[in-house]
Amino acid sequence: MSNLSATPREGYAGDITPDVAFEAWETGAAVLVDIRTDAEREWVGFVPGAAVVAWKQWPGMAMNPNFDSEIRAVSEAGEGRPLVMLCRSGIRSIASAKRATELGLVAYNITEGFEGDPSADARRSTRGGWKFRGLPWRQN
């Protein structure tokens, strides 16, 4: 995906900002994959239209035993377009991008994630992230 401005990384296609990920997803150049738990999406918010493949499961944050088959299905439905992986802060999405790459898929990590880093008073969505940048999201 030549128009995707990424910082190259070992083990996956690279890191991209939320804005770059949104543009790639909006134009159909990539598939946005929210890898957060069901609880995170339900309580904190979600991106309408994003594919959902949990990396870990709530409660206990156990690995999703179906991740491999689910991410392959998302890739097939996306006709092999690159995957842009979204988690809370851009950490779990690195691991999920690496695993997708091991499966032969092209996957990028979205830096900052959905909520960004915590502020000095431990609040998220105030220092970067999908929500902070005003990109589309909803809350139930």
**Which residue type does 117 have?**
D
The average pLDDT across 15-32 equals 97
Residues of the domain holding 64: 8-110
pLDDT at residue number 3: 55
pLDDT at residue number 87: 97
Comparing 113 with 59, the larger pLDDT belongs to 113
Domain count of the fold of the chain: 1
125 falls within a domain = no
* pTM, rounded to two decimals: 0.92
Query: Any idea how long the chain is?
Result: 140
The average pLDDT across 46-73 equals 96
What average pLDDT does the chain have? 93
What percentage of the chain reaches a pLDDT higher than 90? 82
Residue 79: both structure tokens together: 């006709």
CATH number at residue 105: 3.40.250.10
118 falls within a domain = no
Taking the C-alpha atoms of residue 4 and residue 25, their distance in angstroms, rounded to an integer, is: 11
140 falls within a domain = no
- In a 13 Å sphere around the CA of 75, the CA atoms on its Cβ side amount to 20
Segment of 66-70, 117-121, 122-126 carrying the highest mean pLDDT: 66-70
Nearest CA to 95 among 113, 115, 78? 113
